[in-house]
């Protein structure tokens, strides 16, 4: 609530609380403050496999923040059902506030709570209970479609709030 009051206060100061710029419709100053807040909350990670880098944008959740706290990590990604690459993390992650499950998309980086593993989907898959979305890779999934195990490094390239 304090953050909202601060944003509204800043908007009112910049817009001089004029009748032309009512607080109910975002003015340019308010949009720029909100955009800056959104940028500050965006975290990206880099996955490096065999010299190729893929970048994912993470969602803001307790599970994701717990995952980022483990970085950087070097993991062995193993094939699972020719659909995803999985790797076991050094410890289980928080699932506080997580949904019961998700239907992952190609490019999703997820955490499978029952097993405590990371799962990166390179093929389509259906709804899974216990699966939590951490973020999404926009491209480069072909690097993960190689059969067998591969070493990967995951490191942060942004920040969480």
Q: What is the pLDDT of residues 52-69, one digit of tens each?
A: 999 999 999 999 999 999
Domain ranges of the chain: 2-41, 43-156
Short-list 90, 89, 131, CA closest to 108:
131
With cut-offs at 50, 70 and 90, classify the pLDDT of residue 37: very low
Q: What is the pLDDT of residues 118-150, one digit of tens each?
A: 999 999 999 999 999 999 998 999 999 989 999
pTM of the model: 0.73
Class of domain 43-156: mainly beta
């Amino acid at each position: 609530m304090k953050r909202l009051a601060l944003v509204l206060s800043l908007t009112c100061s910049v817009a001089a609380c004029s009748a032309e710029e009512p607080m109910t419709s975002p003015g340019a100053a308010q949009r720029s403050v909100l955009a800056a807040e959104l940028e500050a909350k965006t975290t990206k990670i880099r996955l490096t496999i065999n010299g190729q880098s893929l970048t994912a944008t993470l969602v803001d959740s307790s599970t994701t923040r717990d995952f980022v706290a483990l970085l950087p990590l070097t993991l062995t990604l193993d094939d699972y059902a020719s659909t995803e690459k999985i790797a076991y993390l050094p410890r289980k992650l928080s699932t506080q506030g997580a949904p019961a499950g998700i239907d992952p998309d190609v490019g999703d980086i997820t955490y499978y709570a029952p097993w405590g593993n990371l799962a990166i989907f390179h093929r389509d898959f259906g709804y899974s209970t216990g699966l939590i979305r951490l973020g999404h890779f926009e491209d480069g999934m072909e690097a993960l479609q190689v059969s067998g195990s591969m070493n990967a490094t995951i490191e942060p390239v942004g920040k969480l709030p």
